[in-house]
Structure 1
Amino acid sequence: MHFRLAEEIINLSESKEWDFAKLEWSFEFAYYADELQKCLCGHYPIKNICVIKNQKNSFVTEVGNCCINKFLGIEDGNKIFSSIKKLKENIAASMSAEVIEYIYRKKGISDFDYKFYKSIYRRRIMSTKQCEIKKRINQQFLNFTSYETNSHFNKINLVLKWAETNTSFNTDFILSIKKTCRQKGRLTEKQLESLNKIIRDFKIK
């Protein structure tokens, strides 16, 4: 499996030497797939998926969390998946400090939510209202790291990338639904239909 992963990564990299090719990649995103997925190395099934990006050519691909740790030496997904598991078992539990920073950096939570979470991070006793806000933020994190959300973000980013070289295209709608997706964890059916129509009509690939 390692040889297949190396081959796939090298094919997407600028360098054709594994030791250098793997250094071109950095962690972008992590999500938990409810539907079973297949890793770039060929391993099936996997559910803990990491999205990585090549810093030299901007290619993006997905690999399982085990492969990203073992062969690429990127450990960013570990704490994210640990927090996903913990919150799925108990929505009132706490995300790790690293995960709070991650989701805020990715604009998955607002400034208010970020500051609030940090302020109650080590508290054992909270008011009912504080507990409810914390659970809401935790659910927002779970939504943000879902397969559905990642799928929607991929389509949004595909259109925005295409728009960089098609400057006559007005991106206001795409930017507005990107904001919605960050806030709510998914697009509405109507928004998704509109997004898919844009991709079809303009033949965006």
Structure 2
Amino acid sequence: MGDGYNFQQLKAAILALSQAADLEVAKKEWRLVDISEADEPETCLCGHFPIIELCTIANAATAKSVDVGNVCVKRFLGFRSDLIFQSLKRVRADLDKAISKDATAFFHERGVINDWEYQFQQSTMRKRILSQRQLEIRRALNQKVIAAVRRRGLS
């Protein structure tokens, strides 16, 4: 894993928290359960510092959870959490923008947005011109999603 990401260190840490002894089997025990943002830089299991965008992964077999950076979640689980964080940045800059389909699915699966809100997001995601009411709903949904991403640290 170049760029300061030590795959062997990540592998050892994940295997220590897993029931399986083989990484390919251990991968099947883990899933992404939450995302958060740190106020102060933290260190990933792989040893990379700094990370701000944190992904909480949980092991179904051992009930253990750990925070890793979004790059390691992508490389370890193949989940593109970076797309969710990009969507959040875009929406924070402009509440009139729609969250991405990946972010919509993630927040729906976690119960942040309900079925109706999910369908609304799906049907208006690509629309650039919304009615006043649709725009109000989009802004409220975006604020709800932003509020759901917990901050860790001093704030």
- CA–CA separation in structure 1 for the residues paired with 2:69 and 2:134: 35
Q: Pick from 82, 88, 92: which aligns with 2:86? A: 82
The higher-RCO structure (CA 8 Å, 6+ apart) is: 2
Q: Which residue does 1:190 correspond to in 2?
A: none
In 2: Cα distance, 1:27 partner to 1:73 partner: 8
- The partner residue of 1:13 within 5, 18, 24 is 18
Unpaired segments ≥5 residues, structure 2: 1-5
CA separation of 1:77/1:127 partners in 2, compared to 1, >3 Å: closer, same or farther? Answer: same
Residue 118 in 1 paired to residue 131 in 2?
no
In terms of fraction of residues, the more strand-rich structure is: 2
CA contact (8 A) 2:90 2:97 kept: yes
- Alignment of structure 1 residues 73-152 onto 2, 5 Å: 73-148=77-152
Kindly report structure 1 stretches of 4+ aligned residues shifted beyond 4 Å.
none
Residue 24 of structure 1 is matched in structure 2 by 29
Q: Which amino acid aligns with 1:121?
A: M
- Secondary structure of 1:58's aligned partner: coil
Q: Distance in 2 between matches of 1:112 and 1:20?
A: 37
Question: TM-score, normalised to structure 1's length?
Answer: 0.65
Distance 1:23 1:109 in 2: 27
CA distance in 2: counterparts of 1:14 and 1:106, whole angstroms? 25
Shift of 1:136: 1.3
Gaps of 5+ in 1: 152-205
- Deviation at residue 138 of structure 1 after TM alignment: 0.7
Partner Cα separation in structure 1 for residue 124 and residue 28 of structure 2:
37
CA distance 1:73–1:101, change in 2 (3 Å): closer
Report the 3-state secondary structure (helix = DSSP H, G, I; strand = E; otherwise coil) of the residue aligned with 2:82.
helix
Give the superposition deviation at 1:61: 1.1
Q: For residue 138 of structure 1, give the secondary structure of its aligned residue in structure 2.
A: helix
In the TM superposition, residue 85 of structure 1 has moved relative to its aligned partner by: 1.8
Measured in 2, the distance between the counterparts of 1:126 and 1:17 equals 50
1:115 Cα offset (Å) = 3.0
Across the aligned residues of Structure 1 and Structure 2, the Cα RMSD in angstroms comes to 2.0
Identity fraction in percent: 30
| Rg larger for | 1
Size of the alignment, in residue pairs? 148
CA distance in 2, matches of 1:20, 1:115: 35
